[in-house]
Amino acid sequence: MARDPETIEREIEQARSALVATLDQLGTKANPAKLVDSAKTGLRAKLDEPKVKYPLIGGAVLIGVLLIRKLLK
């Protein structure tokens, strides 16, 4: 059973509109600025956790003390 050309054109236009919407969503999700902001937010959240934050501070203090000791000798 053959379909009429108007129905086929309508279906093509609907498919085209759906494709445009999908490409817009992909473009928004793959935006480099958004990816960088997301990575920064995740890193900051991880560094604010006490079990990560305090060992890093302790390591930095230890390195500082060792450097000062090395410079004073």
State the DSSP string of 29-60. HT-HHHHHHHHHHHHHHHHTSHHHHHHHHHHH
Q: Is 45 helix (H, G, I), strand (E, B) or coil?
A: helix
The confidence band for 73, taking pLDDT boundaries of 50, 70 and 90, is confident
- What distance, in Å, lies between the first and last C-alpha atoms of the chain? 94
pLDDT digits (tens, 9 = 90+) for 4-53: 888 989 999 999 999 999 998 888 888 888 889 989 999 999 999 999 99
- Quick one: pLDDT at residue 72? 92
Q: With contact defined as beta carbons under 8 Å apart, do 64 and 70 qualify?
A: no
